[in-house]
Structure 1
Amino acid sequence: MPPTRSITVRQATSDDAGPLITVLVEAFLDGPVADWLVPDLADRRTVYFRYFKLVFNHGLQHGRVDTTDDQSAVAIWYTRDQVPLVESTGHYYEVERATGRYAPRFLLLDAIFETHHPHAPHDYLAYVAVDPRHQGRGVGTALLTNAHQTLDAANRAAYLEASNTRNRDLYQRLGYRQGAPIHLPTEGPLIWRMWRGQPTDGTPAPFPTDLLPHRSPL
Structure 2
Amino acid sequence: MTDISTGATVRQATRGDTEGLISVLAKAFFDGPVADWLVPDPTDRRTVYQRYFELALNHGLDKGHVDTTADLSAVAIWYPRTDPEPKSALEYSAAMEAATGVYAPKFTLLDTMFEAFHPSEPHHYLAYVAVNPEQQNRGIGAALLSHHHRQLDALGMPAYLEASNLRNRELYVRLGYRAGPPMILPTTGPTIWRMWRGQPNAARPEGFPPSGLLPRRSAR
TM-score bracket, shorter-length normalisation? over 0.9
* Deviation for aligned residue 1:125: 0.2
Counterpart residue number, 1:175:
176
Q: Is the 8 A contact 2:183 2:191 kept in 1?
A: yes
Q: Is the aligned partner of 1:166 residue 2:167? A: yes
1-structure distance, mates of 2:131, 2:168 = 12
Q: Is the 8 A contact 2:64 2:78 kept in 1?
A: yes
Q: Is the aligned partner of 1:213 residue 2:213? A: yes
Counterpart residue number, 2:45:
44
Counterpart residue number, 2:36:
35
Q: Is the aligned partner of 1:187 residue 2:161? A: no
Question: What secondary structure does 1:95 align onto?
Answer: helix
Kindly tell me: are residues 19 and 204 of structure 1, through their superposed partners in 2, closer, same or farther at Cα, counting changes over 3 Å? Answer: farther
Kindly tell me: are residues 206 and 94 of structure 1, through their superposed partners in 2, closer, same or farther at Cα, counting changes over 3 Å? Answer: same
Question: What secondary structure does 1:17 align onto?
Answer: helix
Q: CA RMSD in A?
A: 1.8
Counterpart residue number, 2:96:
95
Q: How many residues align?
A: 214
* Deviation for aligned residue 1:49: 0.2
Give % identity. 58
2-structure distance, mates of 1:91, 1:180 = 28
Q: Is the aligned partner of 1:14 residue 2:15? A: yes
* Cα-to-partner distance string for 1:99-150 (whole Å, 9 max, x where unaligned): 0000011111111000000001100000000000010001001000101000
Q: Is the 8 A contact 2:6 2:143 kept in 1?
A: no
* Cα-to-partner distance string for 1:145-191 (whole Å, 9 max, x where unaligned): 10100000110100000000000000000000100000001110000
2-structure distance, mates of 1:43, 1:137 = 30
Q: Is the 8 A contact 2:6 2:140 kept in 1?
A: no
Q: Is the aligned partner of 1:115 residue 2:130? A: no
Kindly tell me: are residues 84 and 164 of structure 1, through their superposed partners in 2, closer, same or farther at Cα, counting changes over 3 Å? Answer: farther
Counterpart residue number, 1:23:
24
For 2:213, the aligned partner's letter is P
Question: What secondary structure does 2:72 align onto?
Answer: coil
After TM superposition, the score normalised by the length of structure 1 is: 0.93
Kindly tell me: are residues 41 and 162 of structure 1, through their superposed partners in 2, closer, same or farther at Cα, counting changes over 3 Å? Answer: same
Query: What 5-or-longer segments of structure 1 have no aligned partner?
Result: none
Question: What secondary structure does 2:126 align onto?
Answer: strand
Question: What secondary structure does 2:189 align onto?
Answer: coil
1-structure distance, mates of 2:121, 2:110 = 21
2-structure distance, mates of 1:156, 1:4 = 25
Kindly tell me: are residues 137 and 186 of structure 1, through their superposed partners in 2, closer, same or farther at Cα, counting changes over 3 Å? Answer: same
Question: What secondary structure does 1:67 align onto?
Answer: strand
